[in-house]
Structure 1
């Protein structure tokens, strides 16, 4: 079984590489800002400055679906059924993988720079340019907690955030 690595460059390509081989998935007209494997590891979702999300099949190495998001996508996370994308227009969009429709949107106060899921995939952590971290409970579709600190600044549209479990609790980094 080949092991793939997805990498992004600030260009309209998604590059896949294995030891000794390489394949470029071509299709975005803007810079690719995020690319994530779906849980089946047979597909990748990419988000771009061109305001689209693309679903790629790794077996056939082609784009099997393009969704117009309406805003540049800065980050993506995935569950079995849902792709969550964070956008320049301050919205988190929730997409059903099987369709091209938005299941729901959530608007925050600043441009979304990063998203991450907790290990149970029940909470979504967001970072935005309003210098806030938010934990969104996906079971009730609501912000459960908001974090801020006097010295914390989300300094760029590429600031990343990660859930980490510490001593039985949770910690956002």
Structure 2
């Protein structure tokens, strides 16, 4: 009974974002044409429950997927072959993240587990389990040099970990309610976190001190990500909002209808999802998006760009992982 309640609490938290009134297309504009020069390349089947997290390895060779079936799968990106299934979590896997050198995968898990685990990608073996927390781990991210991890949990806390020794370095307190997403800045000096309290917080990664709180969202900020090689940070709730993390100024708001998103590697485009079977490809400067349909039969939950910017991987409630790609020039390349 408790697990069922927790599951539906999480579904309702997402639903409050995606079911609130929003405009799926630009205000006053005609419905845009679908992205016709993208195509479905591969369908990776094997998970037996929702696929809540997907991430392409930095070297472009592999894809990791985390699922409510309590497993992590490693796939060969070019062929779609299943390389490893990682067992060990005793509850839903909320988050997977590759180390910068593509050698390790970190994962965070749900209410009955509440651990962060680190896996050796080549062998598929468990390398380390960090001390068990008192709340589910919604998000994990590596520092750019691979020496540390940051995690965000349902207890409202952001934690910084030393990977080699498995020790807690800092506990960052300031959010009220669940922390949904964490991200390390490209230069490694800052951490961004987003939460149920409708804010994004910017922290000093070295000291753990709070530098500033970014406001403006009207609903939970469910995802946060830094623009590559930039001080700009974006948050996704009912809409995508972009701030300058140095000044705290809001610099751009993209139209309604996105709660999870990912920047393209060169920062010119985004891919987002809004709680249905459609992926949206954004031209960030223009503020325009076009829908991409690749055959998911239930809500898309997670997205990741390939390092070269030519492909996307998506995970869904339909239990599949799908790889799509540009058939001609890619929108992330201009």
Instruction: Tell me, yes or no, if structure 1 residue 74 matches structure 2 residue 134.
Output: no
Question: In structure 2, what is the Cα distance between the partners aligned to 1:164 and 1:73?
Answer: 24
Deviations 1:46-83 (A, max 9, x none): 01011011110012211111122232100011112111
**Which residue pairs with 2:115 in the alignment?**
52
Correspondences of 1:24-173 after superposition (within 5 Å): 24-49=85-110, 50-67=113-130, 68-79=132-143, 80-108=146-174, 109-149=176-216, 151-154=217-220, 159-164=222-227, 170-173=232-235
Q: Quick one: which of 62, 65, 72 aligns to 1:7? A: 65
**Is 140-149 or 46-55 further displaced after alignment?**
140-149
Contact 2:171 2:208 in 1 (8 A): no
Q: Distance in 2 between matches of 1:43 and 1:30?
A: 20
Q: TM-score, normalised by structure 1?
A: 0.88
Report the CA distance shift for 1:59/1:126 in structure 2 as closer, same or farther (over 3 A).
Answer: same
1:16 aligns with 2:47: no
CA distance in structure 1 between the partners assigned to 2:88 and 2:225 by the alignment: 29
CA distance in 2, matches of 1:163, 1:6: 21
CA distance in structure 1 between the aligned counterparts of 2:197 and 2:100, rounded to whole angstroms: 31
Gaps of 5+ in 2: 1-58, 236-334
- Hey, what does 2:50 align to over in structure 1? none
Q: Deviations over 1:92-121 (max 9, x none)?
A: 111110122211211222210001122112
The CA distance in 1 between the partners of 2:196 and 2:101, in whole Å, is 32
Distance 2:228 2:117 in 1: 31
* Residue 2 of structure 1: how far off its partner (Å): 7.9
**Partners of 2:141 and 2:151 within 8 A in 1:** yes
Q: After TM superposition, which residue ranges in structure 1, 4 or more long, deviate above 3 angstroms?
A: none
Following superposition, the deviation at residue 21 of structure 1 comes to 2.2
CA contact (8 A) 1:165 1:171 kept: no
The number of residue pairs the alignment matches comes to: 168
The TM-score with structure 2 as length reference comes to 0.47
* CA shift for structure 1 position 90: 0.7
Cα root mean square deviation, aligned: 2.0
Q: Is the 8 A contact 1:164 1:172 kept in 2?
A: yes
Q: What stretches of structure 1 of length at least 5 have no aligned partner? A: none
Larger proportion of helix: 2
Whichever structure has more strand as a proportion of its residues is: 1
